[in-house]
Amino acid sequence: MPNRFGRSGRHSGSENLVHKLKDMTLRIRCSCVVFIYCTYLSAASAQNFNLNLGGGAGFPISSTADLSNISYNLVAGAGPNLSTHLKMNAEFMFHGLPVQQSVINQLGVSNVKGRLYSFSANLIAGSSIGGGKIAYLIGGGGWYRRTLEAKETVLQAGTKCAPVWAWWNFQCVDGIFPTEVTVGSRTSSAPGFNIGGGFGFRLWDSSTYFYTELRYHRAFTRGFDTSVLPWTFGVRW
């Protein structure tokens, strides 16, 4: 497996548990920072800045669909309003890339996790279409990072069973339990672009809109281009 994914390593079950706890803590902290940041900007500069938070389904397309299943996406963005109809938006996107079981079987491991991250600078051009609704086009470019992690299930012995492990679905019997360890990983970072459009629906008598958006992303990653079509629902203000 090391020659397929680039580097390899083995960790004990305790290290895997600590890693999961640290990962969960980091995600909670990031979510809090994004929420506080967006709340502050919205209150301080409602007329000068635009903000968006959203999530939804994520569809792999082209050659990416041969390797990955449908997943989900999350986005958060902010930027200045250039005019009534033109805005800039710097956006972070996370898109899951769960590898198909047939591919995992060919690799001979128990699981492979794939993810796509991006930071992009975009222009939004839109206009009111009446009835508290807007339509817009969005497009731009940025930096994309695709990661793949191959995991193998192993039996770990010699560790005392702890009750807290039941929270993480560790089945521990007499100090022996199955756990997943990372046996290889591969990362590719590359430029890419996106283009799409959406509709917004005004919420009450405010400048906040509920929006739905479909956007095509393509990253020129190593080996094969990564192409996804996230369908996002969220709030833009």
Question: Token match 């799409």: residue?
Answer: 196
Number of domains in the chain: 1
Q: Are strands 86-96 and 71-80 parallel, antiparallel or unpaired?
A: antiparallel
pLDDT tens track for 71-111? 999 999 999 999 989 999 999 999 999 988 887 777 676 67
Q: How far apart are CA 96 and CA 113, in angstroms?
A: 8
> What are phi and psi for residue 47, nearest 5 degrees?
-85, -15
Yes or no: say if 200 and 50 are a contact pair by the CB < 8 Å rule.
no
The string of DSSP codes covering 116-149 is EEEEEEEEEEEEEEETTEEEEEEEEEEEEEEEEE
Residue ranges making up the domain that contains 43: 2-236
The model's pLDDT over 5-20, given as tens digits with 9 standing for 90+, comes to 444 444 445 555 555 5
Six-digit token pair at 26?
A: 């980091």
Q: For residue 126, which of 111, 110, 138 has the smallest C-alpha distance?
A: 138
Per-residue pLDDT reduced to its tens digit, 37-75: 555 555 545 568 899 999 999 999 999 998 899 999 999
Alpha helix stretches (DSSP H) within 53-125: 101-107
**Low-confidence winner among 82-91, 95-104, 137-146, 214-223 (lowest mean pLDDT):** 95-104
pTM beyond 0.75: the answer is: no
Helix (H) or strand (E) holding 70: none
Pairing type for strands 86-96 and 111-130 reads: antiparallel
Query: Which amino acid is present at 12?
Result: S
pLDDT at 152: 59
Q: What is the mean pLDDT of the chain?
A: 79
List, for residues 154-203, the tens digit of each pLDDT value.
545 555 555 544 555 555 555 555 556 555 667 889 999 999 999 999 99
| pLDDT at residue 25 is higher than 70 | no
Cα-atom radius of gyration of the chain, to the nearest Å?
21
pLDDT of 120 higher than 60: yes
Minimum mean pLDDT range among 39-43, 195-199, 205-209, 222-226: 39-43
What's the pLDDT score for residue 36? 61
CATH number of the CATH domain containing 143:
2.40.160.20
